[in-house]
Structure formats: structure tokens, C-alpha cells
Amino acid sequence: GALLALSKPPGLPILGRPGDLSLDALLPVLRRRLGLPAELHVVKAPAREYSGLVLLSSCYHTTKKLQQFFTNARLRGQYPATYRAVTVGVPTEVEGEIRTGLCWQQHGDRAMVVPVPAPGRRTLARKDVKSTLTRYRVLGAVGGCALLQLQPRTAFPEQLQVHLTLLLCPALGDHEHSSRVGRVLGMPFFLTPETAPTRTQVLDKELLSRLGLSPQRLHHLPLHIHLQELVLP
């Protein structure tokens, strides 16, 4: 009918500047290849760094109806989107919830998403901080890595990456937030953004060998968070 689903590779942005490669720039080409009479709209898509499901629609009213459904579902306490993530480290608990405030914070010349463990009512009311929640479940673990199911009930940029660092299990390929998980005598602990500057993710030699990567090519490793499933009305 009016809906079309694609699988997006990591690193492809949804929107881009004129001339840049983006999903939005590819939609007219896709429409011509499929012989669709109407232009395509993005209903739901994972962030640039993520891979996974992209839901498109050739009907404007369907697009708006579905986008409102996703918003209302989260407000009702439902989880319309399910992600998978490969993490470096295995959570202590097999399943649980990660709750924290999130906000943008300026560090030098760049803005970063940082956790606010106990946000006050005023900051929440002013929307300086957003209260966020992700439900997780460990699906499997081997060699110090885990496959997690993630279901965010809220939507905030980089929410899943930050929540995984709070579990002390950053996503594989997270070169933005993984530096906040430090280790002493093999035990992980959380570092504040002020004490942990952003850097390419550090992996041990055994894991690098299993991935077939050299330390020099590690920065090419994509973020292993994948939008696996969307619930539709």
C-alpha cells in the first residue's frame, strides 16, 4: 500500500545539505525506480549512526497519522520501537530499566549529551533536562560482549549510547561516549565528561583480533545499534 520499509546502513544521515549523500536526497531516485506516483516521506528512521528499519510512506496523511501514533504510544507507556545493540561488557542484571535525565552541555567548542542522575522539577519544567527511560534485556553474551534488546520509551538524541554507558557496557563502535567507561583492575566505572574526553573506542587485543581489525583502523568501526522492529497500529 502506502508504506515502504528499507534497511539503512550506519552512517547514512536522514537529512543532509544540498549535494550531500542522505536518505532524503535518495528518495526521488527510489520513487522513480519503483514507479511510484507520489513522492515519499520519512515516517520513522534511526539516527545517522544507527542502522536498521526506515519506514517510508507515499501518503502525507498516513505519514502524519503514524508519526502521531509513535508519539502517543510512548506517552501511554508503550514501546513502539525495538533496537538491538552489541555491547563491550555484559550488564550485571539480565534485564532492567535505565532512567536518567539527559541534557546538552557545552564542552569547549562542542556540545555533548550528558546524564543528569537526579534532575530537579524546575529544570524538567523548563525543559533544560529531559527525563528518559530505556528498557533493556540481555539476549546473549560471549567473550565479554553482549547482544542487548533495547526499547526506549522516550526520544532524545544519543539516548541509547548514553544509557549503555550508564550500564558500564558501551555499544561496540561508540567513539563518542565509550570513553566515559573506565577500568581499574578490570572493573568498569563511570567517568564524567569533564574527565573523559571523546576518543576512538579502546578495545582489547583479543576482541580486535576477533573483529579482524588493527588499532589503526578501529575508528572505521561503525556503531553497533540497529533499529530491529517497529510496531504499527
CA-based torsion, 121, 122, 124, 125: positive or negative: positive
> Mean of the per-residue pLDDT values for the chain?
91
How many residues comprise the chain?
A: 233
**Residues of the chain whose pLDDT is less than 50?**
none
CA separation for the pair 98, 141 (Å, rounded): 19
Distances (CA, A) of 56 to 49, 62, 150, 225, 226: 19, 10, 22, 20, 17
- Strand pairing of 181-184 and 145-152? unpaired
CA separation for the pair 47, 85 (Å, rounded): 14
Count CA atoms closer than 13 A to 111's CA, side-chain side: 6
Give the CA angle between residues 93, 96, 97 to the nearest 5°.
135
CA separation for the pair 4, 28 (Å, rounded): 14
| Dihedral-angle region of residue 179 (phi above 0 means left; psi in -120 to 50 means alpha; beta otherwise) | alpha
Show the cell assigned to 16.
543532509
- Domain annotation for the chain: domains and CATH numbers: 3-78 (3.30.70), 82-230 (no CATH)
115: nearest Cα among 181, 63, 16: 181
- Cβ atoms 173, 201 nearer than 8 A: yes
- For residue range 202-224, list pLDDT tens digits in order: 998 999 999 999 888 999 999 99
CA separation for the pair 104, 42 (Å, rounded): 26
User: What's the confidence (pLDDT) of residue 119?
Assistant: 79
Q: Kindly give, in sequence order, each residue whose CB lies less than 8 Å from that of residue 170, ignoring residues fewer than 6 positions away.
A: 87, 88, 89, 161, 164, 177, 178, 180, 181, 201
